[in-house]
Amino acid sequence: MKKTIFLISMIVFLTGCNSAEKEKENSLDLAVASGEEVFNKNCVSCHGSEGRGLADDWKVKDENGNFPAPPLNGTAHTWHHSPAQLLYTINNGGVDMGGQMPAFSERLNEEQKQALIDYIYSLWPSDIQTKYNQRFK
């Protein structure tokens, strides 16, 4: 009898753990998915599909003397910035620093901004994600 109770409680314990883990993964997937939606509505026009950028070379100014929107997929600097810095850029854009990016502080809610950061992170190759985790997480 004792054994059975032990077994049952182990099963409950183990499945409990498992579903908590799953829930965490699912909520991250969900954040990435909704981040993609927010991205495709608000950011894709400048940063390109999956953050690949639109210009051939994001380090070369366009004919108006402005730098193009950099790719966000890990091929430019985005991953050098902490989550707080990324949030700052999303909120304030680049106009204050002589750039072109509009500010999104009033246009998106906090959940959407966080989802965007999760989505951008999901676009990076895994070696860059690892470096980022070591530096900022």
Q: Which is nearer to ligand HEC, 13 or 88 (CB)?
A: 88
The Cα-based distances of 55 to 40, 59, 69, 124 in angstroms read 18, 9, 8, 19
- Per-position x/- string for 28-67, each x denoting binding to ligand HEC as judged by CB under 6 A, each - no binding: --------------xx-xxx-------------------x
Q: Pick the binder of ligand HEC from 31, 115, 116, 123 (CB under 6 A).
A: 116
The footprint of ligand HEC on residues 14-33 (CB under 6 A) is none
Q: Which is nearer to ligand HEC, 22 or 61 (CB)?
A: 61
Chain centroid offset of residue 27 CA: 13
- Contact call for residues 73 and 51 (beta carbons, < 8 A): yes
Q: Which among 81, 91, 90, 92 has a CA at the least distance from the CA of 135?
A: 81
Per CB under 6 A, 77 contacts ligand HEC: yes
Per CB under 6 A, 89 contacts ligand HEC: yes
The one-letter code for the residue type at 61 is K
CA 80, CA 26: separation in Å to the nearest integer?
A: 27
Number of shown-chain residues binding ligand HEC (CB under 6 A): 24
How wide is the angle at C-alpha 66 spanned by C-alphas 63 and 72, nearest 5°?
120
- Residues forming the site for ligand HEC (CB under 6 A): 42-43, 45-47, 67, 69-70, 72, 76-78, 81, 86, 89-90, 93-94, 99-102, 104, 116
